[in-house]
A and B are shown apart, each in its own frame.
Chain A
Amino acid sequence: MTDRYITEEAFGPFVNAMIASTRVIGPVAKRSTFAYEQLESESDLRLDFDVTVLPPKKVFFPPAQQLVRFDGDTVEGCIEPVDTVLLGVHFYDVKGIDMTDFLFRANYADYNYLAQREATTIVASNIQAISPRAFWDSVGIEVQPKGHDAFLTKIDGGYLLETKTAKGDALITLGDFREATAGEVQAAREVNAAVMGRCPERLAYSTDAVATRVRESFGEEEMWDELAERCFSCGSCNTVCPTCYCFDVSDSWNLDQKSGVRTRYWDACLTREFAAVTGAGGSKENFREHHSSRFRHRFMRKTTYLNEKLGGPACVGCGRCSRACTADIADPVRVITTIMERTS
């Protein structure tokens, strides 16, 4: 657990050395957006990204993940983790990963997620560009990012790598690092502090005030109907959320029609059938039938239901849902502010 310095010139070769030794996933440019992808070369890496379209949860919890395979009556597990370095994770996504870690570990440990999580070294990085809908500096600020193995900060002339775990330390041998000076450590601290307070959106209320008021507003049907009025029930807000982890499970057959695989797919609680069960004669009982009750459910999950378990809200302020929402009604800052202002 040390503070190391590497020059800008030596940084590229360090990334290439990691790529040569293991799978490295980091932010890459996709025209005007960014995405986490496997790096072919250090030149792919874009640490100046503002936000990625999908959060890094997809490394451990991919949109489609095989759970078990079968062949006739024989069923076997298929947990096959791949050693991975996840490089360039902003602190708000570190918080999101820490939450999904907790949730997949809680009660029944889910090794289809945890095995890949344990096989991954997470290198967080400082925020060099801020996305237009971000509000990570004003939501859940009492929750500290943790669970990452190292933190990389770009400072004048190079990078400071602060290692947090043995897995983080193991990376040092791959690059031309030297011990950081007190001045470099201080410079990194200032870089990370300077970004706070610069988000374009701001939530003006404390976690507890939001949790209490949003919880109380459950029965204010008219307000929720208004807030959700233009919801298409598409679930885009769920899909891009770093703390959403709902899934559906479905089986598929191989061509031999004897063997196949059971797979989980990302699911979304905003979609129409999410809480529906089929009853007698094909009748449906939908426990959240109206789109406003599904919209409300998501906000309850993000601002109040899980707070006790997670130690804070299940929203990290990345602003991805605000961007992804077709009708532009998902923005947590706007929704929460509306709810808060209704009472005051």
Chain B
Amino acid sequence: MSHDNTHDHGCQCEKESLFLPRQAKILHTSKPTESEKHFTLQMSDGQPFVFEPGQILEVGVMGYGEIPIGIASSPTRQGTFDIVVRTVGRVSTAINGKDVGDTLTVRGPLGHGFPVDQLRGKDVLVVAGGIGLCPTRSLIQYIMDTREDFGRFVLFYGARDPLQLLFTEDRVHWRASKVVEYHETVDRADVHWTGNVGVIPTLFHKVHISPETRVVICGPPVMFRYVIAELDALGISRENIYVDLERRMKCGVGKCGHCQINDKYVCIDGPVFTYAEIESLEEAI
């Protein structure tokens, strides 16, 4: 024991803080809606950034804090990655105050994303509500980039009103695309809207979905129950339904307790779960 009361652990590199973030440089930004900002980022350290579709990042600004954000681009798009941040609180306001040339802190990738291996070779339906399109965009891009590995690919996207619709360029592309069957809807139309009106479950009455389809759902908590009811009616097995859950993932490393559901931590055991895994967990859906 030393007399100066400091402990010499030697090299700290292996025992570094879990909370030490990396820096990511902002290469591009856009404002798809009044409250959302879309960032294209690149790691400042030049080291590779390896992730799976559906994984999350703790994104932050030092002095303000961090928030959990699903990565909004596919690992097949090398070199850069995207996130979309909605201005809702102190940290998201600080992040959305940053612009091209600034940096954001990132920790991750964290958690378990979409099970790409289990989706390969299968028909896939992605159901995205509101900002839920952002994390699922990583999978949408992934499937479109490796299209021959998957069966039929259907995408349902819904928003509250036309002004809340994200990724305008993507949607123009999807609408024209032959590789994705894209259907969108809004809860409330405005005078310019000529598309579907109604909540997402109404799309199930317009498009045939086979019972063997693998389904990925991400959206506001209220959406899950209604979509799952439709999937039940179609006879889709609960093992084949993947839900991407939102919780207050404060630390992202399974410690702080805020995202607990039963004995699971959404941040490390999820955020993507099969519905079969969590349907019996109270408070999950």
Which positions in A face B, CB cutoff 8 Å? 21-23, 67-68, 70, 73, 75-83, 103-104, 106-112, 114-115, 118-119, 170, 218-219, 245-251, 253, 260, 262, 264, 267, 269, 274-282, 285, 287-288, 293, 297, 300-301, 305-306, 308-309
Contacts and interface: CB of A to CB of B under 8 A. Distances in A.
A85 B21 CA distance: 32
B136 interface: no
Given A79-B12, A251-B63, A251-B65, A111 B256 contact: no
B169 interface: no
A279 B5 contact: no
B86 interface: yes
A25 to B, nearest CB: 12
Nearest to B266: A287
B63 A246 contact: no
B220 A108 contact: no
Interface in B1-32: 1-3, 5-7, 9, 12, 15-21, 23
A275 B265 CA distance: 12
Contacts of A253: 63
B221 A83 contact: no
Contacts of A118: 9
Nearest to B248: A277
Nearest to B14: A111
A274 B18 contact: no
A82 B7 CA distance: 6
9 nearest CB pairs, A to B: A246-B257, A70-B62, A67-B19, A108-B253, A305-B263, A77-B17, A119-B7, A81-B7, A111-B15
Contacts of A288: 283
Contact of B3 (A21, A170, A249, A309): A21
Contacts of B247: 275, 277, 287
Contacts of A285: 220-221, 246
B105 A280 contact: no
Interface of A is mostly: mixed
Interface residues of B, number: 51
B20 A249 contact: no
B120 interface: no
Contact of A75 (B105, B220, B251): B105
A115 to B, nearest CB: 6
Contact of A267 (B23, B89, B256): B256
A308 B258 CA distance: 20
Given A112-B19, A306-B263, A280 B86 contact: yes
Contacts of A81: 7, 9
B64 interface: yes
A82 B2 CA distance: 10
Interface of B is mostly: loop
12 contacts: A68-B20, A70-B62, A79-B17, A111-B16, A111-B18, A247-B251, A248-B256, A249-B19, A274-B248, A274-B258, A280-B35, A297-B260
Nearest to B23: A73
A75 B1 contact: no
B262 interface: yes
Contact of B17 (A67, A103, A246, A248): A67
Interface string B139-168: 000000000000000000000100000000
Nearest to A20: B3
Nearest to A121: B1
Contacts of B238: none
Nearest to A106: B254
B103 interface: yes
Most buried by B among A22, A253, A275, A276: A275
A26 to B, nearest CB: 16
Nearest to B44: A73
B171 interface: no
Most buried by A among B21, B131, B250, B268: B250
Nearest to A268: B257
Contacts of A79: 12, 15-17
B255 A77 contact: no
Contact of A249 (B5, B131, B251, B268): B251
Given A249-B65, A293-B283, 19 more contacts: A75-B62, A77-B12, A77-B16, A77-B17, A79-B15, A83-B7, A107-B268, A112-B18, A112-B19, A246-B256, A246-B257, A251-B62, A267-B257, A274-B258, A277-B247, A280-B160, A281-B88, A287-B261, A305-B262
Interface string B70-90: 000000000000000010110
A111 B13 CA distance: 11
A247 B257 contact: yes
B240 to A, nearest CB: 25
B115 interface: no
B66 interface: yes
A301 B89 CA distance: 30
Contact of A279 (B21, B88, B105, B283): B88
